[in-house]
Chain A
Amino acid sequence: MFKYQFDWTVVTSGQYAEWLLSGIKVTFELSLLSIVLSFFLGLLIAVMRMSHIAPIRWLAHGYLEFFRNTPLLVQIFFWYFGSYKILPKAFNDWLNNTNFEFAAAVIALTIYTSAFIAEDIRSGVRSIPKEQMEAARSSGFSYLRSMQYIILPQAIRLTIPPLINQFLNLTKNSSLAMTIGVMELTYQARQVESYTFKGFEAFTAATLIYVVISLIITGLVTLYSKKILSPMKAH
């Protein structure tokens, strides 16, 4: 047995702390951007999945099955290594000029998570009594407008707990972005470890930071649903 010397200063001050800090920033940006995008994409897929037009429904169904059932890591590698072969050149050029690793990670996390979010929203819609749709339609709203103003706002309120779950999964999954060189929190913790050999401190710090980030995201979504969305009690 060797004796391990704890040294917490590597993660609380100096250059290594700065690395971790910049990792936190990237993890936050990656997560929040992907959360917002995956929510709206999931909403779109959910609506397509419930369309009266069969080909649109099939398309959404195929999307869901495909992206829910392939490993996220493979999808990340696909967008990073494989996407330039299928994407239009202009888009690739634009990606190359931005932060390509970051963009590939956002695309992969967004698409992967949107498939789960779409299913959650769809089951939220299913639990809204059909009379709500009838009331909306009989006022003269089209199907899509009824969805927009009456059904989805209620369904999303009911879907908040599973949505928070998906957002937290996304945040944790964002650590996989290190595999394509996104310098997020896990990547930076790894860096600190390889420079200092203080792996215990570095990963303990990273773990705690993930917990804090998760709590912040849960708090933000809960606050939003309580304060901004108007109250709705159970039917």
Chain B
Amino acid sequence: MIKFQGVHKWFKKLHVLNDVNLHVSPGEVLVICGPSGSGKSTLIRTINKLEPIDKGTLIIDGMDLSDPKTDINKLRAEIGFVFQQFNLYPHLSVLKNITLAPIKIRGLSRKDAEDVAMSLLERVGLADKVHSYPTQLSGGQQQRVAIARALAMKPKIMLFDEPTSALDPEMIGEVLLVMQNLASSGMTMIVVTHEMGFASEVSHRVAFMDYGIILEEAKPDEFFKNPKHDRAKQFLKEILSPMH
């Protein structure tokens, strides 16, 4: 479903992705972790070409991203992206945030799009917020709306870039729960996160990154019990320590 082959990217002189090879199968949940600045956001953003790559091949759902014939807007419609800062549209109500793309891009009727939106809002526990505006919601609520907005396009892949990092601690659980349910429904997911509980209980595989290199890739229990790379050991020690 997602295939990185020898992918490189530079920001000027900074080698931000260094020979990335990665394979994600349908229905798989991959967690990417690593220290700040290691290139996790850049990596996940290449998948829908928010960041173009400089070298290598990247094939998503059978389409080659560097092929000029690939319709990038069409591909993006199949990929849901959830941002750290939610990025809801502040001038639109929750309902309009969710129905805009399905109506304008998928060509759904307003009625059908609203039905989809309502059932998604129920699924994320926010049916009563349908007519609110983003600024009237808490961070956790906004992020759940953002997930519903992405799901309304019926995507084949969901990407999450630190979806809980901007949240107050008491709101992290509600967002992770929604993501966990999504994972068990069989969605293909790539999640950049430092939530090691989510990684160990929900994900199928963990990739550890540093300096733009994927240093280690393993099943979660293997990764947590027996990290191979020194940098990974160090990272886990820091992130799991009670002082953190």
Contacts and interface: CB of A to CB of B under 8 A. Distances in A.
A159 to B, nearest CB: 13
Contact of B90 (A142, A229, A232): A232
A135 B76 contact: no
B133 A232 contact: yes
A154 interface: yes
Given A139-B101, A141-B104, A233 B79 contact: no
B119 interface: no
A135 B83 contact: yes
Interface in B28-64: 48, 50
B22 interface: no
For the side of the interface on B, what is the size category?
20 to 34
A82 interface: no
Contact of A230 (B74, B85, B92): B92
A131 B87 CA distance: 6
Contact of A139 (B85, B92, B105): B105
Contact of B77 (A140, A150, A235): A140
Contacts of B104: 141, 145, 149
A150 B105 contact: no
A140 B90 contact: no
A149 B101 CA distance: 10
B48 A157 contact: no
A132 interface: yes
Q: Which of A135, A139, A230, A232 has the most CB atoms of chain B within a 10 A radius of its CB?
A: A139
Interface in B68-116: 73-77, 79, 81, 83, 85, 87-93, 100-101, 104-105
A142 B133 contact: no
B133 A141 contact: no
A231 B101 CA distance: 20
Contacts of B100: 139, 149
A99 interface: no
Contacts of A157: 91
B135 A141 contact: no
A132 B153 contact: no
Contact of B73 (A132, A140, A230, A235): A140
Given A139-B149, A142-B73, 16 more contacts: A131-B83, A132-B89, A134-B50, A135-B88, A138-B48, A139-B101, A140-B75, A140-B77, A140-B153, A149-B100, A150-B89, A154-B89, A154-B91, A230-B91, A230-B133, A232-B135
6 contacts: A132-B87, A135-B88, A137-B50, A138-B50, A139-B105, A232-B90
